[in-house]
Structure 1
Amino acid sequence: MISQNSIAQVFETARVEEVIGDFVQLKKSGSNFKGLSPFSEERTPSFMVSPVKQIWKDFSTGKGGNAVTFLMEHEHFTYPEAIKYLAKKYNIEIEETERTDEEKEKANTRESLYLVSEYANDYFQKIMHKTDKGKAIGLSYFKERGFTDETIKKFQLGYALDEWQAFTDDALKNGYKIEFLEGTGLTIVKPEKHFDRFKGRVIFPIHSMSGRVLGFGGRILGNDKKAAKYLNSPESEIYHKSKVLYGLYFAKQTIAKEDNCYLVEGYTDVIQFYQRGITNVVSSSGTALTPEQIRLIKRLTNNITVLFDGDAAGMRASIRGIDLILEQGMNVRVCTFPDGEDPDSFSKNNTLQDVTDYLSDNSKDFIQFKASLLFEDTKNDPIKKAETIRDIVNSIAKIPDQIKKEVYIQECARIMDISESVLFSTLAQINKKESQDANKKYKQERKAFNVVKTEPKPTRKIDIQYELERKIIEILLIYGNKTEKFEDLVLKEDDVSGDLILEPVVHEARVFEKIYLDLQEDEMQFSDANFKMLYYSIIDKLNQDVDFSTKTFMQELKPEIAPMVTGILMDDEKYALHDWERNNIIPKEKEHTIPQLVSQTILSLRCFLIDQKVAAFKDETLKENSDSKSIMEDVKDYLGLKMLLSRKLGKVVGG
């Protein structure tokens, strides 16, 4: 268990915009930050982070909370894991008691797989650094590749002994179960025996965006032609290779800072580049690039530079990846290295300045790259040239942004010496065919199922009491501690006419005191259980703490309540997503009318409750043996009160 002092220190130190900034590219928007949702596929930002309130809200999915809840949602951390992650990030020492055997037993399958992976990571490093075989074989290999001790330690490189069961036996001896060793793919289990997947290989641990070990890549060191040179962990509950990029954990901050990501092919390409000083680099780990991997990068930047070695055949095979990047609406450039060189060797044999200069001078726009690569095949063959141009236009067709499409068409016309009108016509044909194919597919899918005619859904009825109760919670959270001058309207007899009039009486009070006393007057109870719990919790906190803050209050909330509170606090911030001010639409600031807002909300709620009460009385008169006369007198009293409250509400709203 983590001590409360440690938890409080983590919450006090952690900045939500810094934590989320490690995973999502955030841009300043007034006093807040906005970005693309990491929980859904979108092209228009609907994700808001408030540094003042220290909370975030994703308007596309409804999720929200503080720094801890973000890690729990995004990285699937448990609460203790999120606290430990933040403690590590901010160099806070955690105080905790040792987990009991019973607590270990209760850990779920997913967590058990993570624990096994972490154990394996430590084991492989220990073998390489602490054993003679590890030093002689594994460590010497990495040294020969030119990796420094600092780099080897940073990337947590290791070595698996060339023995059939060395790792598995050690893990079992230390209490790790065979089903979880098999679940991670570290151990291959057969009916008659089990053995280590990575035996005799140097190990590259593969981390999640937050630094958790998901799986491993292993390179064989012998000359066994039957064995694969590189071997990755199989798919598991925690490792999905199509959704992971090697090195992203180490590169994410520089990618966001430099607003560019270098994409290479292998593990050593990433490590060598990083060691040379270019740290915004990731790898697809030898697998074909996927849309999920591209979207991981897109959270941090819209710019990708793909780095290829000098092998033309390999480059052609990788062109599809460029089209996938374009489909995601990203900007892509390509840089190729001289024949016989790859990112690993080139960065190893050149200075940082030489490498950065080379990347700057030789990075081409994707059209220039495709044209130069494919043009070699065309020579003076007009048919092949036409195919090359169509290939380039096919790539341009995948770009979602219309302005970019037009710019690229103009660039293609210039490079390939062909008229723009012909290219625009070709682009239109491609788009038309894609649209026809999509419609055809849709019709086929419809035929495959029985189409059932459904009645239109009824319009959702607004729950007025729910909305008013929600507004009261919002006012308490945002303005509860403020002291304001409230104008109460008191019913008095006019000295001249003798008529009853509403006379204003001004008094000063804290907002929460005003709300509490007014609601107590009617002995009003919240109908929503969550709002009721929040109401009394907030009132209690405000009574006890003059320095009440929503940040502190959020720390103590149950995880299931936090998104609701975040939604209430961030409701107004969603308007900033649309840049209304840039269009000369200025939302009214609530701070200027807090007393009016409080009075209007309470009076509206009181009027609504009276209507409910009157409706209940009317139902009562329909029952047998009801005292209709007494009930009608009550109704008359309530209607008189409703008339008075409505007069007050009219004055509050109208001024």
Structure 2
Amino acid sequence: MISPASIDLVFETARVEEVIGDFVQLKKAGSNFKGLSPFSDERSPSFMVSPVKQIWKDFSTGKGGTVVSFLMEHEHFTYPEAIKYLAKKYNIEIEETEQSNEQKEKANERESLYLVSEFASSYFQNILHKTDQGKSIGLSYFKERGFTEETIKRFDLGYSLDEWQAFTDEALKKGYNIDYLEKTGLTIVKDEKRFDRFKGRVMFPIKSMSGRVLGFGGRILINDKKAAKYLNSPESDIYHKSNVLYGIYDAKQSIAKEDNCYLVEGYTDVIQFYQTGVTNVVSSSGTALTSEQIRLINRLTKNITVLFDGDAAGMRASLRGIDLILEQGMNVKVCSFPEGEDPDSFARQNTLEELTEYLSQSSKDFIQFKASILFEESKNDPIKKAETVRDIVNSISKIPDQIKKEIYIQECARIMDISEDVLFSTLAQIANKDAGDDKKSGRGDYKAFDVIKNQQQPAAVKKVDVQYLLERKIIEILLLYGSKSEEFEDLVLKENDKGELELEPVIHTARVFEKIYLDLQDDEMQFGNPQFKTIYYTLIEALNQNENFELRSFINSVDPDMGYEISNILMEDERYSLDNWQRMDIFPKEKQHSVAQLVSETILNLRCFLIDQKVKEFQQETLSNKADVNRNVLEEVKDYSGLKMLLSRKLNRVL
């Protein structure tokens, strides 16, 4: 268990914008930050972070909360894991009791898989640095590749002994469950025998964006035609190779800072680039590039530079991945190395200045690169040239932005010496074909008779829940201004000289939460929404007990469900700042109401609403008993209607 004092210190120190900025590229938007949602596939920012309130909100999925809830949602951390992650990031020493083996076994399966993977990473590093076999074979290999001691430790490189079950025996001895060793793929269980999957291989831990070990890549160091040169962990609950990029943990900050990501093919390409000084580099770990991997990069930057080996066959095979990148609305450049070179060897043989200069000068726009590769093969063959043009236009068709499409069509026309009209016509044909294919397969949004159906049956207008909105507003006022002292104008119902009822204003000073609490008590008003009711009484108690009430501390102290709802309430108004109205010369007016005025109006509106509800109840009671109209009921209706008129008059005067 982590001590409460340690948890409080973590919450006080951690900055939500800094932590989320490690995973999402954030841009300043007024007093807040905005970015692309890390939980959905989107092209316009709907993700908002508030440094002042220390909360976040994702308007595309409805998720939101504190810095801890973000880590729990994004990285699938447990609460203690999120606290430990933040403590490590901010160099905070936390107090906790040691977990016993029994407690480890009781941990949920996912967490157990993480624990096993973390142990394996430490074990392989220890073997590399502290055993004769590790030093003579594994460490020698890494040093032959030109990796320094610092680089080897940064990437947690390791070695698995060339023995059938050395790792498995050690893990079992330390109390780790064989089921989890098998599920992570570290151990192969066959009948009653157990084998180390990565026997005799140098080890590359594959980490998530937050630095958790998800799986491993292992390279064999002997010539064995029966064994794969590289071997990856199998799919598991924590490792899905199509969702992971090697090096993303070490590269994420550099990618966001440089606003560009270099994409290579292998582990050593990443490490060699990083050691040379180009740190914004990741690898697809030898697998075909996937949409999920591209979306990981898209959270950090819109720009990808794909680096290819010098051989033409490899370049043509990799061109297919470019279309996937274009579909995500990203900007793609391509850079190839001289024949016989790859990113690893080229970085090893050149200084940082030479490498960066080469990357800058040799990186071409994807259309120029694709045209140069394919055009070289087809320049003397009209049929092949036509196929090449169609291939390039097909790539352009993947781009969602219409302006970019047109610019690329113009560029293609210039490079391939063909008219723009023909290319636009081809682009339209591809679009029509894709729409037809989507329609046939049911993938598209198009449905027959949609227009006619919508004309005949217009969608019903959703009814506004006035009470819900007013109760929500009361919670928002308490959260933002609950502890403030304000001058309030109370309305006291009195008879004038003519015997008529009228509202007489009385000025007094009170804290906002006291004013709201007493007004609701006087009118015996109850919250209709159960969740708002719980938040309301929790807030009133916190404000009453703590004169120096702090919103951040309060949010951090409540349970995650309540914290989520509070974040929703506080961030709702921020939704409109995402639209950037100022860019279109539209300047929304700032709220000018004072806090006291806002409180009074909200309470008055709630009173008016509840009076309407009461009148409706009386009307129903009268209608259901037409034969014997209750005179008392009619008097009640008359009194409530008179009070409603007085309150409405007061509201009109304020407004």
Q: TM-score, length-normalised on structure 2? A: 0.94
Q: Amino acid of the residue matched to residue 465 of structure 1?
A: Q
Q: Which residue of 1 aligns with 2:151?
A: 151
Pairing 1:103-502 to 2, within 5 Å after superposition: 103-442=103-442, 460-494=462-496, 499-502=500-503
Distance in 2 (alpha carbons) for counterparts of 1:458 and 1:425? 41
- 2:335 match: secondary structure: strand
Q: Which residue of 1 aligns with 2:76?
A: 76
Q: Determine if contact 1:201/1:221 at 8 Å carries over to the other structure.
A: yes
Shift of 1:104: 2.2
Pairing 1:501-650 to 2, within 5 Å after superposition: 501-590=502-591, 592-616=593-617, 633=632, 636-637=635-636, 639-650=638-649
Distance in 2 (alpha carbons) for counterparts of 1:353 and 1:338? 18
Higher mean alpha-carbon deviation, 530-539 vs 310-319, is at 530-539
Shift of 1:641: 4.0
Shift of 1:653: 3.9
Could you say if the C-alpha distance between residues 652 and 459 of structure 1 is closer, same or farther in structure 2, counting changes exceeding 3 Å? closer
Ranges in structure 2 where 5+ consecutive residues have no aligned partner: 448-452
Q: Which residue of 1 aligns with 2:450?
A: none
Q: Amino acid of the residue matched to residue 466 of structure 2?
A: I
Distance in 2 (alpha carbons) for counterparts of 1:83 and 1:194? 36
Q: Amino acid of the residue matched to residue 406 of structure 2?
A: E
Distance in 2 (alpha carbons) for counterparts of 1:418 and 1:191? 65
Ranges in structure 1 where 5+ consecutive residues have no aligned partner: 448-452
Q: Which residue of 2 aligns with 1:31?
A: 31
Q: Amino acid of the residue matched to residue 305 of structure 1?
A: T
Higher mean alpha-carbon deviation, 222-231 vs 509-518, is at 509-518
Distance in 2 (alpha carbons) for counterparts of 1:622 and 1:419? 78
Q: Amino acid of the residue matched to residue 368 of structure 1?
A: Q
- 2:215 match: secondary structure: strand
- 1:560 match: secondary structure: helix
- 2:406 match: secondary structure: helix
Could you say if the C-alpha distance between residues 638 and 149 of structure 1 is closer, same or farther in structure 2, counting changes exceeding 3 Å? farther
Shift of 1:587: 3.8
Q: Determine if contact 1:600/1:649 at 8 Å carries over to the other structure.
A: no
Identity %: 73
Q: Determine if contact 1:290/1:324 at 8 Å carries over to the other structure.
A: yes
Q: Would you say how many aligned residue pairs link Structure 1 and Structure 2? A: 646
Shift of 1:225: 1.1
- 2:561 match: secondary structure: coil
Shift of 1:393: 0.9
Could you say if the C-alpha distance between residues 635 and 348 of structure 1 is closer, same or farther in structure 2, counting changes exceeding 3 Å? farther
CA-based RMSD of the aligned residues comes to 2.4
Q: Determine if contact 1:489/1:648 at 8 Å carries over to the other structure.
A: no
Q: Determine if contact 1:596/1:652 at 8 Å carries over to the other structure.
A: no
Distance in 2 (alpha carbons) for counterparts of 1:81 and 1:309? 40
Could you say if the C-alpha distance between residues 459 and 603 of structure 1 is closer, same or farther in structure 2, counting changes exceeding 3 Å? same
Q: TM-score, length-normalised on structure 1? A: 0.94
Distance in 1 (alpha carbons) for counterparts of 2:240 and 2:559? 31
Shift of 1:249: 0.5
Shift of 1:105: 2.9
Distance in 2 (alpha carbons) for counterparts of 1:306 and 1:424? 27
Higher mean alpha-carbon deviation, 419-428 vs 359-368, is at 419-428
Could you say if the C-alpha distance between residues 277 and 139 of structure 1 is closer, same or farther in structure 2, counting changes exceeding 3 Å? same
Q: Amino acid of the residue matched to residue 378 of structure 1?
A: S
Q: Which residue of 2 aligns with 1:450?
A: none
Q: Which residue of 2 aligns with 1:58?
A: 58
- 1:60-101 C-alpha deviation (Å, 9 max, x unpaired): 111100110000000000000000111111111111111244
- 2:380 match: secondary structure: coil
Q: Determine if contact 2:46/2:60 at 8 Å carries over to the other structure.
A: yes
Higher mean alpha-carbon deviation, 633-642 vs 234-243, is at 633-642
Could you say if the C-alpha distance between residues 348 and 639 of structure 1 is closer, same or farther in structure 2, counting changes exceeding 3 Å? farther
Distance in 1 (alpha carbons) for counterparts of 2:642 and 2:472? 25
- 2:369 match: secondary structure: helix
Distance in 2 (alpha carbons) for counterparts of 1:512 and 1:422? 70
Could you say if the C-alpha distance between residues 389 and 143 of structure 1 is closer, same or farther in structure 2, counting changes exceeding 3 Å? same
Q: Determine if contact 1:56/1:66 at 8 Å carries over to the other structure.
A: yes
Shift of 1:18: 0.8
Distance in 1 (alpha carbons) for counterparts of 2:334 and 2:82? 38
Q: Amino acid of the residue matched to residue 208 of structure 1?
A: S
Distance in 2 (alpha carbons) for counterparts of 1:590 and 1:518? 24
Shift of 1:414: 1.3
